[in-house]
């Protein structure tokens, strides 16, 4: 799939009107996860977290809320839900309903306003192992398949399969097998790649899983709710990202409301962060964080921080101010952007004008001191300004003079000591004042900048300036495709 098309699909995931929606889920007395409430995002929601945190149990709970009758026929799932009460807040064809299901050891009871919801639960990690084993052990496989009529993949479908698997296919036939040893309908695949033909029994688990995932997506009815258990299992990082894009395509084209569990950085990074739900344990209780920060996701999932761009600032003072400012309001940006001081506004201009565009993998943004406002020149790369007035050192010095008690409280020092040091620095220029204050207090320059920024930010006027400047920076990044 073309990159431009995948971006379009992900935009539509968040805006498309869906025929069937699970807006939120309330549950209590569920073995393994206790009680809680989970809101769901538009189109695709990712439930993520460390191993053993309860993602699978939550997905099973969602399935039970949407199709309690089917779950009642699965003894091991019914036993795990004994004593549970689950409320699904759904929208079906424009109707908002709260469907309550209560489970005992025999049968669930469902509220009178229950509606029929088309829901499918897919776990290809189990399915792929079972089917490869089944086909490997079938002694009369070719004879068995001769009685069936395979469906030949069309060119567009073949291109899609090649994209997610990472292998050029010349052909792909799908045999759908019904009424086999009381099993539900399942597929057999026969493909040709590089002139070599082979079937499901000769596939690796990753290749088989991807074919199964695509098969489920292709056959699931329009307007369904689809639940997927860890689609990344057995699959390479490249194919995980590719499959996520295909998932977005099917979600938009078939109005599929999709909820999946995952701990894959590749999958999580594709889903808009406002549609990621992070599960974590607090004692014996599982808590769901509906709006985790990227920094929190990196910490829990073990994602290595990789810079995707650079903020260019004038000097050391501006660099430490940016670290304090973004560290307070948007620490996730500091995980993606490195802050570099380049030695003045002229050097920022020079870098913005001469450094070439090198693709979407790197972004460069200039952040000038506030006294550069009014700059209207155009460069290769965008720019914005720090909050406040003047350079950071002068602005913070001016604000903190006469607030020795606040400085002392912030640094855990005696008020008298701090005021004596401040009095001794009167008459120095802003740069020397900052350097000498840092040295006389016995703390690092960055620590001092962070403390004075905190005091400055406590002013409502200053906090509003900081928030407005952050909004401009975020808009600048969005406009540049961040």
The full set of domain ranges for the chain reads 3-118+221-301, 126-210, 309-479
The pLDDT of residue 4? 55
The pLDDT of residue 187? 96
What one-character DSSP code corresponds to residue 231?
T
Is 208 within 8 Å of 131 (Cβ atoms)?
yes
Tokens 């004692």, residue located = 283
The pLDDT of residue 478? 83
Contacts of 131 (CB under 8 A, 6+ apart): 186, 187, 188, 200, 208, 212
CA atoms within 13 A on the CB side of 130: 10
- Taking the C-alpha atoms of residue 451 and residue 383, their distance in angstroms, rounded to an integer, is 27
The pLDDT of residue 282? 73
Classify 339 as helix, strand or coil. strand
The fold for domain 3-118+221-301 equals: Rossmann fold (3.40.50)
- Helices 316-329 and 460-479: crossing angle, nearest 10°? 90
Strand partners, 296: none
Provide the greatest CA pair distance for the chain: 96
Q: Judge residue 376's burial from the number of C-beta atoms within 10 Å of its C-beta, 0-12 exposed, 13-18 middle, 19 or more buried.
A: exposed
- Taking the C-alpha atoms of residue 39 and residue 27, their distance in angstroms, rounded to an integer, is 12
* Closest to 80 (Cα-Cα) out of 98, 100, 58, 99: 58
Please work out, in degrees rounded to the nearest 5, the angle formed at the alpha carbon of residue 103 by the alpha carbons of 101 and 104. Answer: 155
Residue 146 structure tokens: 């001769």
- Taking the C-alpha atoms of residue 430 and residue 435, their distance in angstroms, rounded to an integer, is 9
The mean pLDDT values, 10 residues at a time, for the chain of 482 residues are: 72 85 92 88 87 88 87 71 88 88 76 81 94 92 92 94 94 92 90 94 94 96 95 92 93 94 87 87 78 72 68 92 90 83 92 77 88 88 92 90 89 89 88 88 86 92 94 86 44
Tokens 């393994």, residue located = 32
- Taking the C-alpha atoms of residue 375 and residue 379, their distance in angstroms, rounded to an integer, is 11
Please work out, in degrees rounded to the nearest 5, the angle formed at the alpha carbon of residue 302 by the alpha carbons of 298 and 306. Answer: 60
End-to-end CA distance of the chain: 21
C-beta neighbour count of 8 within 10 angstroms: 14
The pLDDT of residue 257? 95
């Amino acid at each position: 799939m073309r990159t431009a098309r995948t971006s379009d699909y992900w935009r539509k995931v968040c805006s498309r009107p869906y025929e069937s929606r699970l807006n939120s889920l309330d549950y209590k007395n569920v073995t393994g996860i206790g009680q809680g409430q989970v809101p769901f995002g538009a189109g695709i929601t990712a439930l993520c977290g460390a191993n053993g945190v309860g993602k699978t149990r939550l997905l099973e709970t969602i399935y039970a809320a949407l199709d309690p009758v089917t779950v009642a026929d699965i003894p091991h799932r019914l036993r795990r839900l004994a004593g549970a009460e689950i409320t699904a807040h759904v929208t079906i064809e424009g109707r908002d309903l709260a469907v309550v299901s209560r489970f005992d050891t025999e049968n669930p009871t469902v509220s009178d306003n229950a509606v029929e919801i088309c829901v499918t639960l897919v776990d290809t990690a189990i399915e792929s192992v079972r089917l490869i084993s089944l086909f490997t052990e079938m002694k009369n496989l070719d004879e068995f398949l001769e009685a069936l009529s395979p469906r030949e993949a069309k060119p567009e479908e073949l291109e899609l399969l090649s994209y997610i698997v990472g292998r050029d296919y010349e052909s792909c036939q799908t045999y759908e097998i019904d009424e086999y040893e009381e099993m539900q309908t399942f597929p057999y695949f026969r493909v040709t790649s590089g002139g070599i033909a082979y079937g499901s029994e000769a596939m690796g688990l990753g290749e088989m899983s991807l074919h199964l995932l695509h098969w489920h997506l292709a056959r699931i009815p329009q307007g369904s709710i689809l639940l997927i258990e860890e689609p990344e299992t057995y699959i390479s990082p490249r194919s995980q990202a590719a499959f996520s894009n295909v998932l977005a395509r099917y979600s938009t084209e078939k109005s599929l409301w999709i909820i999946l569990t995952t701990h894959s950085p590749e999958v999580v990074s594709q889903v808009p962060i406002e549609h990621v739900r992070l599960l974590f344990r607090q004692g014996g209780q599982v808590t769901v964080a509906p709006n985790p920060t990227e920094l929190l996701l990196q910490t829990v999932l073990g994602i290595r921080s990789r810079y995707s761009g650079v903020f260019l600032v004038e000097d050391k003072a501006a660099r430490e101010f940016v670290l304090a400012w973004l560290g307070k309001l948007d620490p996730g940006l500091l995980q993606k952007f490195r802050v570099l001081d380049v030695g003045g506004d002229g050097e920022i201009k020079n870098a913005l004008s001469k450094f070439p565009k090198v693709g979407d993998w790197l972004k460069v943004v200039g952040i000038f001191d506030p006294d550069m406002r009014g700059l209207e020149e155009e460069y290769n790369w965008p720019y914005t300004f720090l909050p406040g007035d003047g350079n950071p050192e002068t602005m913070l010095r001016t604000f903190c003079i006469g607030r020795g008690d606040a400085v002392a409280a912030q640094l855990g020092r005696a008020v008298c000591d701090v005021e004596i040091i401040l009095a001794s620095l009167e008459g120095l220029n802003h740069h020397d004042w900052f350097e000498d204050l840092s040295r006389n207090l016995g703390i690092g320059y960055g620590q001092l900048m962070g403390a004075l920024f905190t005091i400055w930010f406590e002013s409502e006027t200053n906090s509003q300036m900081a928030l407005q400047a952050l909004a401009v920076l975020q808009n600048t990044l969005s406009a540049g495709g961040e």
